[in-house]
Structure 1
Amino acid sequence: MSFAKRLLCATLASGVLFSATTFAASWQDSLSSAASQLSQNSGSQQGGMSLSSLTGLLNGGSQSLSAGTMNNAAGIMSYCAQNKLASLTNTDNIKNQVMDKLGLGQQEQKQDTNYLEGLQGLLNTKNGEQLNLNNIGNTPLAEKVKTKACDLVLKQGLNFLS
């Protein structure tokens, strides 16, 4: 290849790389701006959680969305079934088996605060925090957090039964 052709190819290649870099930087700025705006909107929702809080829950370990007690897990399973949040369709069946194994009859259910809190959507997590599934919002990300919590609690119930 002649020197002129190599120079032309090098010039074209550097132009393409420069354009791609500029486009990527522009795209990154747009993405950052959208995320920032979303975060501000989520944070300002009444009763909703911020984007970063929801993302942290989704990306966090199972400790942040798993029930600390099986009584609370049973209540959460009822909440999830009632609100159609779990990916499994037999949520009530699993919950009933867990309640039988725990010995939570009708009388005991009415007196067990962990179970009653779970029924209201209050998840008492393994790391000692309480997450109100009703108050985290209704954004697609919030719904993913609720579904993940329900799925993790269902897995806890299945593990408890085996």
Structure 2
Amino acid sequence: MKAIRNLVLAAAASGVLLAASAQADNNLLGSLQDAATQVLNNSSSEKGASSLPNLTSLLNGGDNKLASTNASNAAGVLEYCMKNKVLSTTNSANIKDKLLDKLGLQNASGAQNPDYQQGLDGLLKTGNGQNIDLNNLGGGLSQIKDKVKQKACDVILKQAKSFI
């Protein structure tokens, strides 16, 4: 009798454990499905440089994808990169100052240039008509966004040297 009771208790305990395991599996599966749906919705609804495929395209593409359309915007973006510690200030500051002097952006009226102001705010105007907001690169892995920002700042630094 005692053996039958132990067998029934073991079967009941097994049933409870299986039910709990199935519930946990369903919760995990539901969480994975929700995450996958969110990633798909985010990547399909984002425009411009903010989607993950576009970020990797910018990262793997040539420098021209991250080059500024004009020297004023490049000067602003260069200053943005320095303020946000993407570029070291030692070498970058000399190049930025020379470019600002050449463009006449050191004075108050020159500093009101809209392309320069947008660059200061982190808005990179590229040659293909795309604006890349370095403050908001959208969804995706933070490492990819950081690398895109670093590459953009490096490209702008090279471009600023060529403008001097």
Return the TM-score normalized by structure 1: 0.67
Per-residue CA deviations over 1:58-85 (Å, capped at 9, x if unaligned) read 1122221111100000000000000011
Per-residue CA deviations over 1:23-50 (Å, capped at 9, x if unaligned) read xxxxxxxxxxxxxx6x928937x99933
SS in structure 1 of the partner of residue 69 of structure 2: coil
CA spacing shift, 1:120–1:42, aligned 2, 3 Å: farther
Q: Which runs of 5+ in 1 are unaligned?
A: 1-36
- Alignment partner, residue 145 of structure 1: 148
How far did residue 128 of structure 1 move? Answer: 1.8
CA spacing shift, 1:111–1:145, aligned 2, 3 Å: same
Per-residue CA deviations over 1:90-125 (Å, capped at 9, x if unaligned) read 212211110111122222333200000000000011
CA distance, structure 2, for counterparts of residue 89 and residue 148 of structure 1: 18
CA distance, structure 1, for counterparts of residue 54 and residue 151 of structure 2: 15
Are 2:133 and 1:107 aligned? no
CA spacing shift, 1:145–1:89, aligned 2, 3 Å: farther
- Alignment partner, residue 65 of structure 2: 64
SS in structure 2 of the partner of residue 106 of structure 1: coil
Q: Is the contact between residue 122 and residue 134 of structure 2 (CA under 8 Å) also seen in structure 1? A: yes
What is the 5 A alignment of 1:6-155? 40=39, 43=42, 49-86=50-87, 89-137=90-138, 139-155=142-158
SS in structure 2 of the partner of residue 131 of structure 1: strand
Q: Which runs of 5+ in 2 are unaligned?
A: 1-35
CA distance, structure 2, for counterparts of residue 157 and residue 129 of structure 1: 19
Q: Is the contact between residue 82 and residue 89 of structure 2 (CA under 8 Å) also seen in structure 1? A: no
SS in structure 2 of the partner of residue 84 of structure 1: coil
CA distance, structure 2, for counterparts of residue 109 and residue 62 of structure 1: 28
Q: Is the contact between residue 104 and residue 110 of structure 2 (CA under 8 Å) also seen in structure 1? A: no
Q: Structure 1: which amino acid aligns with 2:51?
A: S
CA distance, structure 1, for counterparts of residue 128 and residue 58 of structure 2: 12
Return the TM-score normalized by structure 2: 0.66
Q: Is the contact between residue 42 and residue 51 of structure 1 (CA under 8 Å) also seen in structure 2? A: no
Aligned residues: 124
